[in-house]
């Protein structure tokens, strides 16, 4: 009997909500969604469920339309206090980098044309010039990420040969990316030396053979080994490489061009330091402490960089025009000595405790929520400076009045851009963190122009009238 109560396709299409969807999107697509929902309803009725009405089916269809038609990834507000949050897209870009992307993509560009000669040019030329000035290297190259930069370097220099790596540096970083796996994929053979906690120059020297293609030093960016430890300094490894005519490669990871100790953090290896030490090639990321787009950057000796440029894999991993334009704009901030004010990552890191506390207090006052402002710590994140934090202040929400407690509050905050019944969308999703059964929001990682949305979400989630 319930099968007879199932609405027809036309009756669902005639509802105001679905009719509006048909006007906004492909009719064939919306009709197919209606048919899919009717098939699902028919199966449920067969299992004893009550047939839905045309209005109920229309609501479900519209939810699917909204879910499918939105662009991804969606913008969110990062109130976790983790500056380089891998799950939230790592480093946000500066206004100049965003403008550069728009200018490079909104029309045609001189991506591979020399405007002076009218002939084909290199997409890398201007970027290379900036990197040489900032790092002091002889040559430079940018590809689509640091993993591919390392893969390209090993493939070009050590395929079919052995690469010596300290056992304590054969690391795994996020997403299961392992240095031994990259070596294997490049065609090189890993020769690990030393022990997990102690490696000496003599360990490298004893492992050198006629088939040694390179020595690789990897910064352990996402963990610390403390206590009874020893590692080989860059200068000593370079000296050994020169003695045997073997290139020494250095993956420094985060791409910090500024001294992190200036901000009360432990020292993070800097590309320009490795270049000064004489490393043959230095690899680093563009979207971590550099504060730019996803990219892998290689700087070092000219003859080695040229081998990478000529390798067939270079074409497969080359940087695209959008990342290229954003990376160029980001590097220009360093030359202008304005990284702290213009690059979001460094603006967050350099923010003072006093300014952060004042912002948290303003949030509490303007939102009217139940909570308090208290001291806390912010993490750098992104596989950089493990265990290092910065003093900060947070707005701690009192969640006792919300059924479901802090987990429910967090869930509501993440769904802030989704309509619920008659409630319109008012803001972007907010991601925070939970400690001691409270939701904590750290102003350090929230941009000033996001505060209006954040306060709207707080009032909505905490049901402030």
* pLDDT tens digit at each of 465 positions of the chain: 578 889 999 999 999 999 999 999 999 999 999 999 999 999 998 888 899 999 999 999 999 998 898 888 999 999 999 999 999 999 999 999 999 999 999 999 999 999 999 999 999 999 999 999 999 999 999 999 999 999 999 999 999 999 999 988 887 766 666 888 888 899 999 999 998 888 999 999 999 999 999 999 998 765 666 667 778 899 999 999 999 999 999 999 899 999 999 999 999 999 999 999 999 999 999 999 999 999 999 999 999 999 999 999 999 999 999 999 999 999 999 999 999 999 999 999 999 999 999 999 999 999 999 999 999 999 999 888 888 899 999 999 999 888 899 999 999 999 987 755 434 455 789 999 999 999 999 999 999 999 999 999 999 999 886
Q: Is residue 27 located within the same domain as residue 131?
A: no
Domain closes at, from 291, 315, 342: 342
24-74 confidence digits (pLDDT tens) = 999 999 999 999 999 999 999 888 889 999 999 999 999 999 889 888 899
Domain closes at, from 308, 325, 342: 342
Domain closes at, from 319, 342, 365: 342
Q: Is residue 295 located within the same domain as residue 403?
A: no
Q: Is residue 254 located within the same domain as residue 108?
A: yes
Q: Is residue 185 located within the same domain as residue 307?
A: yes
Q: Is residue 288 located within the same domain as residue 379?
A: no
Q: Is residue 337 located within the same domain as residue 354?
A: no
CATH of the domain at 435: 3.90.1150.180
**What total of structural domains would you count in the chain?**
3
Q: Is residue 271 located within the same domain as residue 381?
A: no
Q: Is residue 363 located within the same domain as residue 350?
A: yes
CATH of the domain at 200: 3.40.640.10
Q: What is the pLDDT of residue 414?
A: 94
Q: Is residue 355 located within the same domain as residue 333?
A: no
Q: What is the pLDDT of residue 325?
A: 97
Q: Is residue 159 located within the same domain as residue 300?
A: yes
Q: Is residue 54 located within the same domain as residue 148?
A: no
Domain that holds residue 19: 2-69
* Furthest CA-CA distance within the chain: 89
Q: Is residue 45 located within the same domain as residue 130?
A: no
Q: pTM here?
A: 0.91
């Amino acid at each position: 009997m319930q099968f007879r109560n199932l609405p027809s396709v036309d009756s669902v299409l005639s509802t105001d909500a679905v009719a509006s969807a048909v006007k906004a999107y492909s009719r064939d697509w919306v009709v197919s969604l209606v048919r899919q929902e009717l098939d699902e309803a028919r199966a449920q009725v067969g299992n004893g469920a009550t047939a839905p009405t045309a209005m109920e089916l229309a609501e479900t269809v519209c939810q699917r339309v909204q879910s499918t038609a939105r662009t991804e990834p969606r913008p969110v507000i990062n109130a976790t206090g983790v500056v380089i949050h891998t799950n939230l897209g790592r480093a946000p870009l500066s206004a100049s980098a965003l403008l550069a992307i728009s200018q490079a993509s909104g029309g045609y560009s001189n991506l591979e044309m020399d405007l002076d000669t009218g002939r084909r040019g290199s997409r890398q030329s201007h970027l290379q010039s900036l990197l040489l000035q900032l790092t002091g290297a002889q040559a430079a190259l940018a590809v689509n990420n640091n993993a591919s930069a390392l893969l390209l370097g090993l493939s070009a220099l050590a395929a079919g040969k052995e690469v010596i790596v300290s056992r304590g540096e054969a690391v795994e970083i996020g997403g299961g990316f392992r240095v031994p796996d990259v070596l294997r994929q490049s065609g090189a053979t890993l020769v690990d030396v030393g022990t997990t906690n102690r490696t000496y120059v003599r360990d490298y020297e004893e492992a050198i053979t006629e088939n040694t293609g390179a020595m690789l030093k990897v910064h352990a960016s996402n963990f610390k080994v403390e206590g009874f430890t020893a590692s080989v300094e860059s200068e000593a490894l370079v000296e050994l490489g020169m003695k045997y005519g073997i290139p020494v490669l250095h993956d420094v990871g985060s791409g910090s061009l500024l001294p992190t100790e200036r901000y009360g953090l432990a020292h993070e290896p800097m590309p320009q330091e490795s270049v000064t030490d004489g490393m043959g090639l230095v690899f680093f990321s563009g979207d971590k402490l550099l504060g730019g787009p996803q990219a892998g950057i290689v700087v070092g000796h000219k003859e080695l960089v040229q081998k990478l440029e000529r390798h067939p894999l270079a074409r497969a991993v080359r940087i695209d025009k959008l990342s290229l334009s954003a990376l160029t704009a980001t590097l220009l901030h360093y030359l202008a000595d304005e990284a702290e004010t213009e690059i979001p990552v460094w603006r967050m890191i350099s923010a003072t405790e006093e300014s952060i506390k004042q912002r948290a207090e303003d949030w509490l006052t303007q939102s009217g929520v139940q909570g308090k402002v208290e001291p806390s710590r912010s993490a750098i994140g992104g596989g950089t400076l493990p265990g290092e934090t910065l003093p900060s202040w947070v707005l701690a929400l009192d969640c006792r009045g919300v059924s479901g407690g802090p987990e429910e509050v967090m869930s509501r905050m993440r769904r802030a851009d989704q309509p619920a019944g008659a409630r319109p969308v008012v803001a972007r999703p907010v991601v925070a963190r939970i400690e001691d059964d409270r939701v904590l929001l750290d102003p350090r990682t929230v941009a000033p122009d996001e505060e209006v949305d954040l306060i709207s979400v707080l009032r909505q989630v905490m049901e402030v009238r």
